[in-house]
Amino acid sequence: MKITATRSSRFVKGGGTGLVMSRRRADPAIRSPWAPYVRVVKYVVLLLFVLVFLMPVYAVVVTALKTPDQVSVPGMWELPWPVSFDSFVAVWNKPEIPRGLLNSFLLAVPASIIAALLGAANGFVLSKWRFPGADAVFPVLLFGMFIPYQAVIIPMTQFMTDINLRGGADVTGGLLGLILVHVVYGIPITTLIFRSYYSGIPDSVFDSAQVDGAGMLRTFWHIALPLAPPAFAVTVIWQFTAVWNDFLFGVVMTSTTAWPITIGLNNIAAVQTIPFEQVMASALLASLPTLLVYILLGRFFMKGLMAGALKG
């Protein structure tokens, strides 16, 4: 009994020591003496990355605010003085810039919303409604993400011409056909995002709707869609940015009156004497819509992007 008691006391003592050590590890007040220096180094490195990333943005902004006589390669990093907005006025008076911004809006907004809705439906079905061949449909659908634009540009152009949705034959200047092209190209990535997101939602949520008598479409519309704002934020940001920045499909599919903003930017720079201050001002104007979309939906972005990543 005495030996047993001694062992028990040792066990309790050892357990107590382990408990104290675990508390020391968990207690934020008990840290390594190098912890403050490690944190400083980490923040310095992150600050350097931020500065490197913002260097081109800084060059664009300061160049856009300069007068033509201030613009030079040696003085690229110098602050503008006096600050001038003449370059913004000049590019706004060029017809291709305001018209290009309007065409890009008419293109990117419906292409993003339609692709997001179709991706939501595909992702919901592929994650929660099993059917024969579902495991084969999803990889085939994702294969569309890896097809480059150049591989389909010729047959796609011929097909759109045959159905009168290419610029010149289409009364909209090719915008309807271009919207269709971007929706089709956006379905694989939007399906992937929504499938990952819905995979992280317990099946019991949708099973309860089935018990109450809801079918697939009703469950999708009333249960799945209201649960997916983060996934919608990711898909809209991704799709809007991809459509807004497209150049190849825009120059091939649309006529002059329906050119998006990317072609307008190219036309400003495609002259013998390049007005760099006007090019930078146009680039700033063209980037504001995508920046605004990210500001409005950015708080959902990481949540929706990481949803389903730790599933299983």
Task: Give DSSP secondary structure letters for 128-146.
Answer: H---TTHHHHHHHHHGGGG
151-160, 173-182, 230-239, 272-281, range with the lowest pLDDT: 272-281
Give the amino acid at 133.
G
Helix (H, G, I), strand (E, B) or coil at 237: helix
The reply to whether omega before 148 is within 30° of 0 (cis) is no
Work out the average pLDDT over 294-310: 68
What token pair was written down for 304?
Answer: 């929706």
Name the burial class of residue 63, with classes exposed (0-12), middle (13-18) and buried (19+) by CB atoms within 10 angstroms of its CB.
buried
Run of H or E including 3: helix 2-26
Is the whole model's pTM more than 0.95, yes or no? no
* Cα gap 245→256, rounded to integer Å: 17
**Concatenated DSSP letters for 58-89?**
HHHHHHHTS-GGG--STTTTSPPSS---HHHH
**What pLDDT sits at residue 48?**
95
**Is 169 exposed, middle or buried, given 0-12, 13-18 or 19+ CB atoms closer than 10 A?**
middle
What CATH superfamily classification does 90-306 receive?
MetI-like (1.10.3720.10)
User: Which pLDDT score, from 0 to 100, does residue 139 have?
Assistant: 87
C-beta of residue 99 within 8 angstroms of C-beta of residue 264: yes
- pLDDT at residue 18 tops 50: no
Q: Give the three-class secondary structure for 167.
A: strand
pLDDT at position 15: 47
